[in-house]
Structure 1
Amino acid sequence: MYFCKVNPIQQIFSINNDSEFDETALAIFKHQAEHCAVYASYIRHLNIIPAHISSVLDIPYLPISFFKTHEVLSNPKIPEIIFSSSGTTGMVQSRHMVTDVSIYEDSFNKAFELFYGKIEDTCLLALLPSYLERDGSSLIYMVDALLKQSKHPDSGYFLHNHDELYQKLKKLQDNKQRTILIGVTYALLDFIERYRLDFPELIVMETGGMKGKRKEMVREELHDLLQAGFGVSAIHSEYGMTELLSQAYSFGEGIFYCPAWMKIVLRDTNDPLSLIRNHQTGGINIIDLANVNSCSFIATQDLGKIYPDGSFEVLGRFDNADIRGCNLLVQ
C-alpha cells in the first residue's frame, strides 16, 4: 500500500472521534500535497506552504471541476478502475481513477452497515435504469457488491419491468421481508404513476437526478409524491458522487449523516477560501479520507447547510454548475 507510514489505511476506518479524524486528515493532506501533482500545483498557486498547515480548518479544497480536466492521483500505481460521471451529450465527464478499489469497497460496506445494518438478510431491489445503461458508474459498482452479499433470492436489478417489480414488492410485503428499494428519482416517479403500494416497512432510497427525463422538483414535493406512492412515512436518500469514495445517507427530510471518515464543511459563496459556521448557507466542501489515493479535500458545486450535530442538508447548486448525477434537488 503506497501511503505515508504515519497513518496506514486501516486507521481511516477506525476513527472514533474528532481528534483522530483531524490527525488522520492532516497526515493525508501532507501526503497529498506532496504526491498529488494537481493538488500540489493548486496549493502553490494559492501561495500556501503545506508545512505551515497545522489545523484542518486551514486545509485548502480542490475544486471538483479538476476531475474533468486532470488526472487527480496521489499514488503512482495504475488505476484498477476508472469511475466516470453521468451527463448529457457533449458534457465533459468527471473521471475518478481508483488505484485501490478495495478501499472503496471497505468504505461503502462499512457505511452501509453502519446506517442500515448487515445486508445479508435484506432484500435489495435496484431501480437504476440510467446507471445500468452506461459504463463507469461508482453507484452500480456499489450496488453490484451489495447485491452479491444479499442472500435473499429476490434481490436484483430492474430496468423498465415495473410490473415484475410491483409483484415482487407485494410478495415481500406479504412475507414481512425487510426490503430496501434504491432507485434513481425519475424511475421511482415513473413506477408510482402506474402502481400504488401501502408498504410502510419498505425503505425507499432515492439517489437523486432526473437525468433529463423530467423537470427538477423541490425535495418536499418529490418526497410527498414518493411517500404517497409507496405508502411509507419517509424517503431515504444517498449523497455520493463520482469523485468520492464515501457516501452520506438520509433517513428522511433531506438531512444527511456522514460516516466517521467523511465530513462536510461550508465555504463562503463570495470567498471560496473562507469557511463559515453552522446554520448559514454555503458551498459544500467535503473531506473524504477514503480518497487517500486521489484527493480527500474537495470543493463541490453544491450549496448546503450544516447542523450542530454534524448532519447537513443539500439546498441546491451554484447557478453556473453543470447538472450532475449526484443527489441534488433544487430547493
Structure 2
Amino acid sequence: MENIFNIQTEQDFLKASLEMFRYQYENVEIYRKFVDYLKISPETVNSLETIPFLPIEMFKNHQILDKNKTADLFFQSSGTTKMNLSKHWIADEKIYEESIYKSFKQFIGKPEDFIFLGLLPSYLERQNSSLIYMVDYLMKKSAQPENGYFLYNHSDLFNLLNTLEDKKVILFGVSFALLDFLDYCHSEKNGEPLSFLENLVVIETGGMKGRKEEMTKGELLKILQHGFKTDKIYSEYSMTELLSQAYSLGNNEYECPGWMKIMVRNAEDPFAYEKEGRTGAINIIDLANIHSCSFIATQDLGKMIGKKFQVLGRIDHSDIRGCSLLVS
C-alpha cells in the first residue's frame, strides 16, 4: 500500500481505500468475519459505497488488530468502571503521530509555532486517552517551557495566560471545563476585558459528560465566542477508535485531512447514503487505521455541507470526543 499521507485526489483516495479494504479483509480477523457474515464477496467491492463499515461497538468486545502485528499500547474510551469500554489497540504509534502532526499543520499551523495548554480534566483523570496522547505529542513538538495541563486550577491558568498575551497560544479544552473557566475569568475580572485573548486560539474537544446541562453545539459555540471575545471557536473531532482528526475553524463545519473521509449513511439502511444537507449516521474512513479497521460505522449524527461536514449529536451514548451535544 502506498503512503496514505501522500493522497492528493479522489481517485488516489478510492484506490487506497480499496487496497486497504482488501488488506484488512485478509488480515483483520474480526473485520473478515463481519464481511463474511454480511455475505459480501470482496470481489464485488469496487467503490466506497460498497465497502462494509464495521459497527463501532465491536471495539468494546473484540481486539481488532492486524494478525501480523502485536500491540502493547491501547487507547480506551471514557466511562464508568461499570461500562464496557472500547479499546483501540495501536500497533504503530508513529502512524498516529504523523497523522496528528500533518492534520494540525494543515488546518491550524506548525505545532512548533505555538504554546499548548490543556484544560482537559476528565481526560487527565483516566489512563489511555487518545486525546491526551495527541496533546502530549503536540507539546513535545512545540517544546515550549510554558506548555502544560490544568485540572480545576483556573486561577493558575488565568495567571499564566496573562503572562502570554503576546505569544501564540492554543488552549485545548473539554466543553464543561471551558465554560467553568469562563465563569472564573469573568468573576475575577468583573466585566473588565481579558487582555490575553488576542492571540489565544481555543479548540474545544466536546464533552459535557453529564457535568453540565446538555446544549446544542450551536449554543455552546455562541457562549464560548461571547466569553472568549472571538468570532471563531475551533473544534476537533475524533474518537478512541480513530487515528485521525477533523478540525472545524468555526460554525461547527469540519474538514478532514486527505486520508480521512466522512460518509453519511441512511439510519435505516447501512448501504444507502444521504444526499448533501440531509441528516444521517456518520461513517468514517480513516486510512491511518492501517492495523485495525479503517471503515467504521459510528453512532453519530451528521450531514455533509459540500466537502465539509457537521456533527449534530448521537444516536446513542457512544463515546466520542468531537461532540457530546444534542441535535442542533
TM over 0.5, yes or no? yes
Report the CA distance between 1:76 and its aligned residue.
2.7
Conservation of the 8 A alpha-carbon contact between 1:37 and 1:74:
yes
Shift of 1:213: 1.3
Q: Partner of 2:169 in structure 1?
A: 179
CA contact (8 A) 1:81 1:98 kept: yes
Query: Partner of 1:237: helix, strand, or coil?
Result: strand
Alignment-derived partner of residue 167 in structure 1: 159
Aligned residues: 318
* 1:273 Cα offset (Å): 2.2
5 Å matches for 1:268-279?
A: 268-279=266-277
- Distance in 1 of aligned mates of 2:252 and 2:290: 28
CA contact (8 A) 1:246 1:290 kept: yes
Q: Which residue of 1 aligns with 2:70?
A: 78
- Three-state SS of the structure 1 residue aligned to 2:88 is strand
2:319 corresponds to which of 302, 308, 324: 324
Between the aligned partners of 1:168 and 1:111, the Cα distance in structure 2 is 27
Q: Which residue of 1 aligns with 2:211?
A: 213
From 290, 310, 315, the counterpart of 1:313: 310
Partners of 1:273 and 1:255 in 2: how far apart? 25
Q: Superposed, which structure 2 residues align to 1:7-22 within 5 Å? A: 7-8=1-2, 11-22=3-14
The answer to whether residue 140 in structure 2 is matched with residue 143 in structure 1 is no
SS of residue matched to 1:215: coil
Asked if 1 retains the 8 angstrom alpha-carbon contact of 2:182 and 2:228, the reply is: yes
Tell me which residue corresponds to 2:43. Answer: 51
Match of 2:191 in 1: none
Correspondences of 1:278-293 after superposition (within 5 Å): 278-293=276-291
Classify 1:75/1:203 alpha carbon distance in 2 versus 1 (closer, same or farther; 3 Å): farther
Q: Distance in 2 between matches of 1:34 and 1:325?
A: 28
Query: Percentage identity across aligned positions?
Result: 48
Match of 1:193 among 162, 167, 183: 183
Match of 2:295 in 1: 297
SS at match of 1:290: coil
For the aligned residue pairs, the C-alpha RMSD in angstroms reads 1.3
Residue in 2 aligned with 1:264?
262
CA-CA distance at 1:325 after TM superposition: 4.0
Aligned to 1:98: 90
For 2:115, give the aligned amino acid.
Answer: C
Give the conservation status (yes or no) of the 8 Å contact 2:24–2:293.
Answer: yes
Whether the aligned pair in 2 keeps the contact of 1:286 and 1:299 (CA below 8 Å) is yes
8 Å contact kept, 2:238–2:246: yes
Partner in structure 1 of residue 123 of structure 2: 131
Amino acid corresponding to residue 114 of structure 1 in structure 2: Q
Return the alpha-carbon distance in structure 2 between the equivalents of residues 213 and 303 of structure 1.
22
Q: Which amino acid aligns with 1:205?
A: I
**Cα displacement string for residues 240-299 of structure 1 (whole angstroms, at most 9, x for unaligned residues):** 000000000001110000000000001111112222221111110000000010000000
Deviation at 1:124, TM superposition (A): 0.9
- Does the Cα contact within 8 Å between 1:75 and 1:294 map onto a contact in 2? no
TM-score by length of 1: 0.93
Match of residue 66 from structure 1: 58
**Greater shift in the superposed pair: 120-129 or 256-265:** 120-129
CA distance in 1, matches of 2:92, 2:141: 20
- SS class of match (1:13): helix
- Please list the CA deviations of residues 81-114 of structure 1 after superposition, one character each: whole Å capped at 9, or x if unmatched: 1100001342211000111111111111111111
Q: Is contact 1:200–1:233 with CA below 8 Å preserved after alignment?
A: no
User: Out of 240, 243, 266, which is 1:242 matched to?
Assistant: 240
1:211 deviation in Å?
2.3
Assess if the C-alpha contact under 8 Å between 1:211 and 1:325 holds in 2.
no
Distance 1:75 1:177 in 2: 47
Q: Report how far residue 326 of structure 1 moved.
A: 1.6
What amino acid maps onto 1:327 in structure 2? G
In structure 2, list runs of 5 or more residues that go unmatched.
Answer: 187-193
